A and B are shown apart, each in its own frame.
Chain A
Amino acid sequence: MLTFLARRLASLLVTLAVASAVIFAVMEVLPGDPAEIMLGTNARPDTLAALRANLGLDRPATERYVAWVSGFLQGDLGRSYTYSVPVGELVAQRLWVSLPLAAISLLLTVLIAIPVGAIAAARRNRPVDIGIMAATQVGIAVPNFWFAMLLVFVFAVSLRLLPAGGFPGWGAGLWPALRSLILPAVALALPQASILARVMRSSLIDTLGEDYMRTARAKGLSRSEAVRRHALRNALIPVLTIMGLQFSFLLAGTIIIENVFFLPGLGRLVFQAITQRDLIVVKSVVMLLVASVVIVNFLVELAYAAVDPRLRRRA
């Protein structure tokens, strides 16, 4: 188990190192000089040079890469060109919106998908199953940002039940803050849950056909007891895989949904940074996003090992 952990951890670190180099390299070859963009094209050359020196842009690329990475590791993400505040602070602030949003929608996804998929599998080819399958077929096809717009129209504009957008901040109290995250989270969760419910259904159907299910029935377990004690956990393994893969969609979805609801999260930050050519912010947020995908996949692998003893090796 320990070697398993160590090996996974090593490969995680290598991946992150390579990712940081790639992100840095791509951002390096970008045309356009941040200093020039900040000061405008008709800035005086000596002011430009001064700003460049100030930003460290005159140093060689490798040196800047090392500085960036070591800064990153110490939590120092540099200074935003446009906001003139440490990027770390900026990101931390925004994370408090994006992270809860992602977590709530993930929770919703799982809470919807697993029971719905299980019911469909249990009632295979009956009306309930056919209805669920049709609904998920639509759910998969709905773009989450469009769904978000519809939710706003119905629940905020017409019914006035929930806010249409904006975020009061956690300082305004738990409920007002949560209230403004409900619609975005639902908009994110339903399409994802549609996919996951289908995976859960087919995985459970596969599991029900396994030999050990027959063994369990031969022991005297009723159909539902056998499903509960022997099928569910086995069926969750493929579901876990898809959840790991879905995470990057969830992340992308969060970024986009924040724009629909004007939520001050990482998504808004990164789009503002792009239009303002605040490269250091873009670079850091991208790195953060990639790192979270890699880390989540690492956690999914650990979850595998927890669920499946075949992957835990006694070293």
Chain B
Amino acid sequence: MSAVVAGRQGLAARALGHPSFLVGAAISLVVAATALLSFVWTPHDPTVLDIGRKLQPLSAAHWLGTDQYGRDVLSMIMGGAVTSMAVSFVAVGIGLGLGVPLGLLAAGRRGPVGEAVMRANDFVFAFPALVMAIMLRDIFGPGALNAMVAIGIFNVPVFARLAYGAALPLWTREFVMAARVAGKGRGRITLEHILPNMLSLIIVQATIQLSLGVLAEAALSYVGLGVQPPAPSWGRMLNEAQTLMAIAPRLALVPGLAIVVTVMGLNLLGDGLRDLLDPRLARER
């Protein structure tokens, strides 16, 4: 609790003294800024093919060189950041928007309603995002939307279970009993006491799911179930680079490192947030 109680300054001070949080936050900000920047400026148009300039090495004009179709790699990486962020944010949004209310409902209602919600959850869990993407491909067509929905559906039970698992013990806590004795209904108690007390858990999990989303988007685009050309995507860049590993390993290294750095940044941010927001749990136990 001290996180909230000690006030924002206390939290900020501790955040500044937390290396993994700082590194994670910095990386995440850089990736997000890169993605935003690409909307207004990229060195070249990442979608323009120019066979004449294919496979150029690093140069002042092309900081990261060009690929086999003459596209500027740095511009593609910047555009790929947009794809990556957009897909994982929307997927987390779907997971949060559906999963958390479902979990809260199941925990608040218990009985048959709760049972049914959680059973359905277990069931969805049996469909890995990839399988979901395969099944949905022909409904949404291969593309960013397909990836978003497939990863998003996979996120729903993750958040539902988290919310359910966190809410159940809260419902038996005495302060919730006290709220009931104060005449408050389930919905009001959920909003006033249950949700705020699990918010830090949800924030941490959302960060983790973001990083998983980046990985999943890359994988789906790599196998052709995700973003389609000409939209830039790190996963598809890897696919296109695969046959050129021997000639131009740079083409595979750069997008791969972009994924690794982004995912690590988000994971470090998540770990940092857990440490910063959760001492309350450690303290109360």
Contacts and interface: CB of A to CB of B under 8 A. Distances in A.
A30 B131 contact: no
Contact of B131 (A140, A141, A289): A289
Contacts of B259: 141, 143, 146
Nearest to A148: B242
B215 A143 contact: yes
A119 B246 CA distance: 38
Interface residues of B, number: 39
Contact of B245 (A15, A27, A153, A259): A153
A10 B206 CA distance: 34
Interface string A27-46: 10111100000000000000
A160 to B, nearest CB: 12
Given A150-B256, A270-B134, A145 B219 contact: yes
A270 B131 CA distance: 10
Contact of A149 (B128, B245, B260): B245
Interface string B119-132: 00011011111110
B54 interface: no
Nearest to B264: A141
Q: Chain B binding site: helix, strand, loop or mixed by DSSP?
A: helix
A31 B137 CA distance: 11
Nearest to A23: B135
Interface in A227-256: 245, 248-249, 251-252, 255-256
Contact of A141 (B126, B136, B245, B263): B263
A242 to B, nearest CB: 13
B161 to A, nearest CB: 10
A23 B256 CA distance: 34
Contacts of A30: 138-139
A157 B139 CA distance: 40
B76 interface: no
A290 interface: yes
Give the most central of B129, B136, B260: most A CB within 10 Å. B260
Interface in B96-121: none
Given A153-B249, A271-B223, A143 B218 contact: yes
A282 interface: yes
A131 to B, nearest CB: 15
Q: Chain A binding site: helix, strand, loop or mixed by DSSP?
A: helix
B135 A26 contact: yes
B126 A286 contact: no
Nearest to B215: A143
Contacts, number: 111
Interface in A50-104: none
B55 interface: no
Given A143-B219, A274-B137, A149 B246 contact: no
A252 B138 contact: no
A29 B218 CA distance: 27
A204 interface: no
Contacts of A125: none
B252 interface: yes
B131 A286 contact: yes
B283 to A, nearest CB: 15
Nearest to B263: A141
B219 A256 contact: yes
A162 B235 CA distance: 25
A112 interface: no
A142 interface: yes
B263 A140 contact: yes
B276 interface: no
Nearest to A142: B260
A260 B224 CA distance: 13
Contacts of A137: 264, 267-268
B260 A141 contact: yes
Contacts of B224: 271
Give the most central of B122, B218, B245: most A CB within 10 Å. B245
B89 interface: no
A32 B245 contact: no
B238 interface: yes
A239 B241 CA distance: 36
Given A143-B256, A150-B256, A31 B138 contact: yes
Interface of B: 122-123, 125-131, 134-139, 211, 215, 218-219, 222-224, 235, 238, 241-242, 245-246, 249, 252, 255-256, 259-261, 263-264, 267-268
11 contacts: A30-B139, A31-B139, A138-B260, A141-B211, A142-B256, A150-B252, A152-B245, A153-B246, A256-B222, A286-B131, A286-B135
The 7 closest A-B pairs by CB, nearest first: A141-B263, A252-B130, A248-B128, A146-B256, A141-B264, A30-B138, A252-B128
Interface of A: 15, 18-19, 23, 26-27, 29-32, 137-138, 140-143, 145-146, 149-150, 152-153, 157, 245, 248-249, 251-252, 255-256, 259-260, 270-271, 274, 282, 286, 289-290, 293-294, 297
